[in-house]
Structure 1
Amino acid sequence: MQFGIARRGLAVALGLGLSLPGISARAEDLTGTLKKVKDTGAITIGYRDSSVPFSYLDGDQKPVGYAMEICLKIADAVKTHLKLDKMEVKLNPVTSATRIPLIANGTIDLECGSTTNNPDRQKQATFTNTHFLTATRYVSKKDKKLDKIDDLKGRTVVSTSGTTNIKQINEANTERKMGLTILPAKDHAEAFLMVETGRADAFVMDDVLLASLVAGSKTPDAYTISSEPLSKPEPYGIMLRKDDAQFKAVADAATKKLYESPEGKALYTKWFEQPIPPRNINLKLPMSEAMQKQLKSPSDSPDPAAY
């Protein structure tokens, strides 16, 4: 009789949404990163020291940047989701060589930089919604009045050896019968110098990298970046551990909310269209149509054709 009364009491309590001692209020048991954060009271962000303007060190050697701000938004969402009064945000430096291993072994929980989300990396990690779309374009001096790919016909162009970009311009040269003279450079600095000194008419590379080189040059206003891309958009994303559905769901919800709000556009403007620390350079990189579309309908796809 007492057991029956107890069962009826429990049913009433649950129906009213009341909590009873020993009854878990959680809708699901925590796993993966969320469990780790709940247990330790800390989340660890991996940052790059020179990926301007995504994640880099300012004048006080503090990590700042577009991707860093997004990661901090995700951290806030995790704290709220777990209903934590306090949560420590730890910062751990990573490089292009260490970022994936440190995500995989649990040293860092979020990798905040300029990491391309592609099928190969999807085998080792996963990504939240794309925060930037780069594409292969070219930089030239404004007085040459070059803007479209076909404007380069018969010209001398340079790109960095061993990159996908030099492969793309070689393919375009053959397919479009452009008659280009294509020079390889040992690094990005040498390639830009060749445009600066007139040895090449244009430098073909990722647009965001070109914008950074122009902004840091002696005469930024003397250069222009082509409006027409040579490639489909390539997505950058915040990297997470693979097979961690609970954590990814929180990160996806947080980034979707950010990107679809006016704050998403404002964040882009802050880091890509205004002076940034510590040297107050301005990348002057307006948001592309593909990026505008991405902010309106966030996607985590690694497929360039999705954008």
Structure 2
Amino acid sequence: MKKIIRYIGVMAALCAALIVLTSCGAKPLSEQNVLTNSEKSNTITWGVKADTKLFGLMDIKDNRIKGFEVDIAKALTKQVLGSKGQAKFVQVTSQTRIPLLANGNIDGIIATMTITPEREKQVDFTNSYFDAGQALLVKKGSPIHNVKDLNQKGKTVLGVVGSNSVENIGKYAPKARLLQLSDYAQALTALKSGQGDALTTDNGILYGMAAENPGYVVVGGTFTEEPYGIAVNQGQTEFRQSLNTALAKIEKSGEYNRILKKWFGNVPGFNYEEAKR
């Protein structure tokens, strides 16, 4: 019995020492070389939206996230890791995407994330993979025709927490009241229930909402330029460069345009010819 107790004690001490050594010697996931780790695991883990039609939306029939950004991520993964490379997807929101990246839970963010100077202080971006512009979604027949109309007394515009579209409204419609929701699904529900006069975000996202909700339309054209980039942790230069190379390859091969046409080719109001590369 004493031998068993002594054995257990020794093993416990070894385990404790191993934990200490591991915690002292190993770098946090966010500081490790993402490209090297991805090549070893043959997997890239992507943060994607799951509430944004056309870009990334959960299909309740098979519980898979589907959309333009998901397909682009799959194509880039094959370019970086080879034909057997696997793309893994983690659901993110505008609020959670940067923290999840910083913690090492995901390798890259491809989630309608506009390249901005403020965000570049926190992450590094690839080249743009989609050029959007901020617009407005309103109910058909609404007196709101453009962003300036939101300056009328008592007008409320709906936005999403963590999105730079919220900041832009302060510049273009400073007199408007702003109501922020946690995600696009809640924002659209608020618009339908009359809690706001317009919902604002990037036009590509709004076209997806309009396509699914015929009683609502995108109005006024775009009043900002919103280039989407893939975000990676700062210092992951090799990984970012490999993604830029992969993006250039799928654009040159025509794969990018095939994916774009699949998701946006028949969307009313979306200019596919202008957006293709």
2:73 to 55, 60, 71: 71
Instruction: Note the alpha carbon deviations across 1:129-172, whole angstroms, 9 max, x for none.
Output: 2222332323345557976667889798541278235424424x
Instruction: Note the alpha carbon deviations across 1:11-35, whole angstroms, 9 max, x for none.
Output: xxxxxxxxxxxxxxxxxxxx82222
The residue that corresponds to 1:265 in the other structure is: 257
- Asked if 1:60 corresponds to 2:56, the answer is no
- Asked if 1:167 corresponds to 2:170, the answer is yes
Q: How far 1:112 sits from its partner (Å)? A: 2.6
Instruction: Note the alpha carbon deviations across 1:169-223, whole angstroms, 9 max, x for none.
Output: 424x7xxxxxxxx45556533235449xxx95x6554323432332232xx1x54
Q: How far 1:50 sits from its partner (Å)? A: 1.6
The structure whose residues are more often strand, as a share, is: 2
The residue that corresponds to 2:244 in the other structure is: 252
**Stretch of structure 1 that moved more, 244-253 or 42-51:** 42-51
Is the Cα–Cα contact under 8 Å of residues 53 and 209 in structure 2 kept in the other structure? no
Is the Cα–Cα contact under 8 Å of residues 115 and 236 in structure 1 kept in the other structure? yes
Alpha-carbon distance in structure 1 between the residues aligned to 2:46 and 2:122: 18
Larger Rg, first or second structure (1 or 2): 1
- Asked if 1:49 corresponds to 2:50, the answer is yes
| Aligned residue runs from structure 1 range 1-307, under 5 A | 32-58=33-59, 59-80=61-82, 86-140=84-138, 157-160=155-158, 163-171=166-174, 182=176, 184-185=178-179, 187=181, 188=187, 189-194=189-194, 200=197, 204-217=200-213, 220=214, 222-230=215-223, 232-274=224-266, 283-287=267-271, 292=275, 296=277
Alpha-carbon distance in structure 2 between the residues aligned to 1:93 and 1:149: 31
**Stretch of structure 1 that moved more, 32-41 or 185-194:** 185-194
Alpha-carbon distance in structure 2 between the residues aligned to 1:273 and 1:75: 24
Alpha-carbon distance in structure 2 between the residues aligned to 1:184 and 1:94: 23
Pair 1:204–1:118, CA change in 2 (3 A): closer
Q: How far 1:74 sits from its partner (Å)? A: 1.5
Tell me the secondary structure at the aligned position of residue 222 of structure 2: coil
Is the Cα–Cα contact under 8 Å of residues 136 and 206 in structure 1 kept in the other structure? yes
Is the Cα–Cα contact under 8 Å of residues 135 and 233 in structure 1 kept in the other structure? yes
Pair 1:51–1:146, CA change in 2 (3 A): closer
Alpha-carbon distance in structure 1 between the residues aligned to 2:86 and 2:50: 21
Tell me the secondary structure at the aligned position of residue 74 of structure 1: helix
Alpha-carbon distance in structure 1 between the residues aligned to 2:241 and 2:133: 28
Is the Cα–Cα contact under 8 Å of residues 48 and 93 in structure 1 kept in the other structure? yes
Give, as a single letter, the amino acid of the residue that structure 1 aligns with 2:49: R
Instruction: Note the alpha carbon deviations across 1:113-136, whole angstroms, 9 max, x for none.
Output: 222222222222222222223323
Unaligned ranges ≥5, structure 2: 1-31, 182-186
Pair 1:105–1:207, CA change in 2 (3 A): same
Pair 1:64–1:209, CA change in 2 (3 A): closer
Is the Cα–Cα contact under 8 Å of residues 251 and 257 in structure 2 kept in the other structure? yes
Pair 1:94–1:145, CA change in 2 (3 A): closer
Q: How far 1:99 sits from its partner (Å)? A: 2.1
Unaligned ranges ≥5, structure 1: 1-30, 174-181, 275-282, 297-307
Instruction: Note the alpha carbon deviations across 1:60-107, whole angstroms, 9 max, x for none.
Output: 101221111111111111223xxxx85444333333333223323333
